[in-house]
Amino acid sequence: MKKIAIVSSSNFRCQFIHLLLEGELVTLFSNPKHVEEQLYDIIIYAPIYEEKIDLFPTHKLIVVQEGHVNPSFTGRHVPFEVTNPSNVKRKIWMNIDQIHFEPADTLTGGVVAIGSSTGGPLSLQAVLNPLPATFDVPIVIAQHMPADFTRVLARRLDQIVEIRVKEARHLERLEAGTAYVAPGGKQMTIHVNAKKDAVIHINEPGATDLYHPSINYLFESVALYEWKIAVLLTGMGSDGAGALSKLKQSSQATIIAESQQTATIFGIPNAAIKTGLVDEILPNEEIGEWLAKKGGKP
């Protein structure tokens, strides 16, 4: 388990961040000078005044602070938002994972991440149908749906296709041959636990989150994998397109968009295509055949 120091002269800020990291091995400090930094894997520093940022080594430091930090600080920064704790938690965890698993220590193996919206259930069925029960990698799915509907969707797909399909649970470890559907009305991201396993995090959406589950959030979180395949299926809007640049900048990544031929609504795939980062444009059933042939490898 990671050893985390939370440092702030504000007791409120210390306790606020501590609650977001419930279950982790955390020590609280009110004075930065009392922290023996070599004893901690992560240092989360939440200054309230113009306190010095250079007290701690940048490679293990996350600064949580309103607005802009010291202009000389080029490290990891999370905006302090009391009214949006789920967003603060998500960004802290994204930074924690980056500290330990970039770039050489990425998660070994691969993952398939799928995003869909209007018309998604039928396209998901077409994509998953060709996959064998022994599919080599896990699949994570963000389908725009309200709460409870995703549980029904996962159950129905599980009865139709060979691969196992289920609604995802918080802190569940990802396993090959299983497709995990993000719970409707929540945000799902992939993180790394102390044993270096990929685990699911389910959080409440932020007040400004347009989509929940968000394809962008899910796609950004799988960038830690050694290789990844991102699939954008039918739907309105452009969710998912904003994460493609980060995927391409990480390690091996292949991006597939559903063609207009089978998409009920071409918005999400088309927005991805317009980024110029899409590698394949295929009808939904051919996406499944492509994945089955490749075994989840780019």
Query: Could you give the percent of the chain with pLDDT greater than 70?
Result: 92
CATH number of 3-101: 3.40.50.2300
* Catalytic-role residue among 8, 117, 123, 251: 117
Distant-in-sequence, close-in-space partners of 233: CB < 8 Å, separation ≥ 6: 114, 115, 116, 117, 119, 120, 123, 124, 127, 258, 263, 268, 269, 284, 287
Helix (H, G, I), strand (E, B) or coil at 230: strand
Active site residue 144: yes
Query: Could you give the percent of the chain with pLDDT greater than 90?
Result: 58
pLDDT score recorded for residue 103: 44
Active site residue 117: yes
Residue pLDDT, tens place only, 242-256: 999 888 887 789 999
Give the closest residue to 268 by CA, choosing from 287, 249, 251, 281.
Answer: 281
Hey, what amino acid is at 110? G
* Catalytic-role residue among 77, 144, 191, 201: 144
For residues 32 and 47, give the distance between their C-alpha atoms in angstroms, rounded to a whole number.
Answer: 10
Q: Where in the chain are the domains?
A: 3-101, 107-294
pTM exceeds 0.75, yes or no: no
DSSP string, 268-295: HHHHHHHTT---EEE-HHHHHHHHHHHT
Both tokens of 56, joined, read 């701690």
* Catalytic-role residue among 97, 123, 201, 239: 239
Residue pLDDT, tens place only, 140-196: 999 999 998 999 999 999 999 999 999 999 889 999 999 999 999 999 998 877 677
Superfamily covering domain 107-294: Methylesterase CheB, C-terminal domain (3.40.50.180)
Fold agreement (3-101, 107-294): yes
pLDDT, mean of each 10-residue run, the chain (298 residues): 87 94 89 81 85 72 81 78 90 82 61 96 97 95 94 96 96 94 93 78 83 92 90 96 87 93 96 95 96 82
